[in-house]
Amino acid sequence: MTPTILTVAGSDPSGGAGIQADLKTFSALGAYGGAVLTALTAQNTRGVTGVLPVPASFVTEQLDALFADLDVAAVKVGMLGGADVVEAVADAARRHGIRHLVVDPVMVATSGDRLVDDATVEAIRDRLLPLACVVTPNLPEAAALLGLPAVAPEEAADAAAELHAKGPAALVKGGHAAGPDAVDVLADDDGLLELRERRVETANTHGTGCTLSSAIAAGLGHGRPLRDAVRDAKTYLTEALRAADQLHVGTGHGPVHHFHAWWTPEGTPA
């Protein structure tokens, strides 16, 4: 049976990140995707020029409408924007008994700039993480969740373990680090797991965090154990990065190739 996976996130009209990347990932991995919008953005491969938040009450209305009708196997949460929206999602997760909640805490831009205020960070940490099965921060986001000025790559394992102590398994991503390998560290009830792939040299990295967390949600929706879902997701993202330069989308940081296993940029089967 095809699982239904839900994304709760912002919209990227350029198609590389946000709900657009999430839905592409679900489809590529054999799942049916639904989407709850938390924000509209004006953006392209070169940056974000505007954000229009969706009121928390309407986020709740979207969630309730979907859970009243769809058999949702997993939920991926991305950009939420404000503490009131975080609370709305947490309340829905409790009321509807979400089975697999994957939280991608979109809080810090690649530049290092904070995208949300302190109240939103606290709400994610205190209200949402205890309900999640796994949280997937990059190094700056792990630091924000732990109240630290920074987390160095060599501190990723300690940060993952500390986040896991707050409830969910924690996958601290090493994409912001340097070196020949992209190293992520997962902390769960079985201890620490290091996931290492050769770093892909490409400027087309738009939506990597969205894609990885969505791939994990898809794996969980298919019934995969968490560690297997995380391994599969990292492999899928790595292959999507390797194929990213084939797409030629935009003039900035283009998207990964979500359908690398299905078709080439010329439209022919892969």
Active site residues: 173, 205, 207-210
Query: Crossing angle of helices 56-67/83-96, nearest 10°?
Result: 20
CB 14 within 8 Å of CB 8 = no
Residue corresponding to tokens 């969505």 = 214
Cβ neighbours of 131 (radius 10 Å)? 18
CB 198 within 8 Å of CB 166 = no
Tokens of 77: 């949460």
H or E stretch at 253: none
CB 222 within 8 Å of CB 30 = yes
CB 199 within 8 Å of CB 205 = no
